[in-house]
């Protein structure tokens, strides 16, 4: 009986307490590396050169149909049970032309609020930092993304429920529209 109570307490703790996951993504010129906490995860390059005359098979990509995107948008925006995301983006870039570097700096500074609003739709964001640094002297590109993602199982199930409910509504609308034609 005591073992059952201990297992039940552990399961309830896992279900309701969010688990923080730390991911780091680094791009430096031609190499990319991904870290989960401090462990490096290998990224395989699966691009293969194609021979002339060889037929390339295209993969079929599953894209769910969300016909009622406005309803989905407002439902996700009003959701109080979002996972938490703390995000730090460091971007250092430079081009051979200083004018192009300045233009890219303005573009990266302009994208900041749009990216924040898009991420805010799916996550609670207590800390979000984007630090673009132009390098007018050297030709370089470095991107470092550090994120701490906290998710509890209950929140994941609730978000899955919202998406599934909207998908079922979209399927029903599509099937009723196709039968009425």
Model confidence at 124: pLDDT above 70: yes
Bigger pLDDT: 177 vs 150: 150
23-69 pLDDT per residue, tens? 888 877 777 788 888 888 876 655 555 555 565 555 655 555 555 67
What pTM did the predictor assign?
Answer: 0.63
Q: Where are the domains positioned within the chain? A: 18-37+66-180
Residues in the chain: 181
What pLDDT was estimated at residue 3?
84
Summarised one tens digit per residue, pLDDT across range 41-53 is: 876 655 555 555 5
Confidence (pLDDT) at 103 = 92
For the chain, what percentages of helix, strand and coil (3-state, to nearest 5) are there?
45, 30, 30
- Determine the pLDDT at residue 138: 84
* Digit-coded pLDDT (tens) for 146-170: 888 887 888 888 888 888 888 887 7
pLDDT tens for residues 4-22?
Answer: 888 878 777 777 777 787 8
Two structure tokens written together for 106: 């303005």
Angstrom distances, CA of residue 125 to CA of 118, 119, 128, 155, 165? 11, 8, 7, 15, 25
CB 92 within 8 A of CB 135: yes
The 8-class DSSP code of residue 138 comes to: S
């Amino acid at each position: 009986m005591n073992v059952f109570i201990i297992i039940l307490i552990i399961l309830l703790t896992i279900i309701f307490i969010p688990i923080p996951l730390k991911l780091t993504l680094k791009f430096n010129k031609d190499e990319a590396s991904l870290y989960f906490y401090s462990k490096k995860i290998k990224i395989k390059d699966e691009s293969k050169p194609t021979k002339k005359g060889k037929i390339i098979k295209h993969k079929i990509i599953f894209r769910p149909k969300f016909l009622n995107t406005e309803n989905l948008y407002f439902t996700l925006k009003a959701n109080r049970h979002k996972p938490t995301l703390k995000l730090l983006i460091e971007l250092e870039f430079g081009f051979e032309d200083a004018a192009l570097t300045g233009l890219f700096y303005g573009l990266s500074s302009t994208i900041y609020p749009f990216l924040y609003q898009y991420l805010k739709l799916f996550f609670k964001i207590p800390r979000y930092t984007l630090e673009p640094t132009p390098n007018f002297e050297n030709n370089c590109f470095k991107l470092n993304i550090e994120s701490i993602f906290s998710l509890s199982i209950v929140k994941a199930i609730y978000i899955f429920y919202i998406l599934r409910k909207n998908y079922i509504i979209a399927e029903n609308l599509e099937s009723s529209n196709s039968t009425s034609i």
